[in-house]
Amino acid sequence: MKRNHEVTKVHALLDRNGQLTEPGWSRQLIQKYSREAIKVPKFRIKEWDYYLVMTEEFAVAMTLSDLGYLGMISASFIDFTRPWEHTETVLTALPMGKFNLPSDSREGISEFSNDRVSMSFTVEEDGRHLTCNFHKFDGAKDFSCDILLTEPKQDTLVIATPWDKKHHFYYNQKINCLPASGWAEYDGKRYKFNPETACGVLDWGRGVWTYDNYWYWSSGSGYVDGVPVGFNIGYGFGNTFAATENVIFYDGKAHKIDDVTFHIPEDDFLKPWKFSSSDGRFEMDFEPIIDRNSLTDVKIIISDQHQVFGRMTGTMILDDGTKVELKDFLCFAEKVHNKY
């Protein structure tokens, strides 16, 4: 199998032995995911929906995660003008599928509610409706939002990645360049999303992970000369012999690229980064604005996250050789270490 193998036929994600049928990448979610086909205990299955919606001034992130023995419901509000951020997380024990997260990103409702937080992601005919009400999000201050992401007909990035350990795999879809409208409210102030400038991204993940992992991920969505432009780059998890998850989005089309390396300063995440690619098609400088860092350490479960928001400047090269120049393009890049 050649590198960056593209999956083009609809079939089951896993075979009868719980192994990936066809490792590789695709433009849509065409391999069919089913929890029932997985051959490990329920507490080892990981499923999540993560949305990030950004403007030039602020951003909102929301996550619903069923990690088997732990459920995580999280919201973040980031103000780039200060800069400042706050993240709040609610944990639940042993969801093991009780969240009933959809098996297909194109349908259904992902939702959770208790006496402190209610969160809902609903797939509608023309997009995705996101709502959140978080009581005592930041001390006595509440947070709420109501956001509509319009979903144009476009390519996405889907990756089916095995680990070298039997029955372990990662099935993931990234949907970039989703125009956003609606509002977020924090500390008595309402922040509005303008679909001409605000963009969302969905990170939809399902699978069985090994216990101790690092990952690197960067994503951006916006406009260059009025054209929708985005990218998804990352590595550090699973065996990527079949495909990377690195892709450039330009005017609704995905342009597949090979390996990209994050060059992160060892002593300070807020110093400038560089990105280089094995095929020369993604060469960037990254100027950080704010590090949304968090550390969760509850004995056997550890999550050390540095999600750094900033601006990319450099060159991306499309499949036909066209150069796309980014200048102070708002995005994020992260390094995460998880034991769970």
Residue 40 in any domain: the answer is yes
pLDDT digits (tens, 9 = 90+) for 223-262: 999 999 999 999 998 999 999 999 999 999 999 999 999 9
| pLDDT band of 340, cuts 50, 70, 90 | confident
Residue 72 in any domain: the answer is yes
Give the 3-state secondary structure of 252-306: CEEEECCCEEEECCCCCCCCCEEEEECCCCEEEEEEEEEEEEEEEEECCEEEEEE
Per-residue pLDDT at 303 exceeds 90: no
How far apart are the C-alpha atoms of 201 and 292, rounded to whole Å?
17
Per-residue pLDDT at 299 exceeds 80: no
**Could you tell me the end-to-end alpha-carbon distance of the chain, in angstroms, rounded to an integer?**
32
Residue 326 in any domain: the answer is yes
Q: What is the pTM of this model?
A: 0.97
Residue 6 in any domain: the answer is no
| pLDDT band of 1, cuts 50, 70, 90 | low
Residue 5 in any domain: the answer is no
Give the structural domain span for 20: 11-339
Residue 4 in any domain: the answer is no
Number of independent structural domains in the chain = 1
Residue 3 in any domain: the answer is no
- Averaged pLDDT for residues 311-322: 98
Using DSSP bridges, classify how beta strands 247-250 and 227-235 pair: parallel, antiparallel or unpaired.
antiparallel
Residue 53 in any domain: the answer is yes
| pLDDT band of 221, cuts 50, 70, 90 | very high
Per-residue pLDDT at 18 exceeds 80: yes
Using DSSP bridges, classify how beta strands 127-138 and 58-66 pair: parallel, antiparallel or unpaired.
unpaired
Residue 197: closest CA among 177, 218, 170: 177
pLDDT digits (tens, 9 = 90+) for 101-133: 999 999 999 999 999 999 999 999 989 999 999
HSE of 179, CA atoms in CB hemisphere, 13 A: 16
pLDDT digits (tens, 9 = 90+) for 140-173: 999 999 999 999 999 999 999 999 999 999 999 9
Residue type, 274: K
Per-residue pLDDT at 2 exceeds 90: no
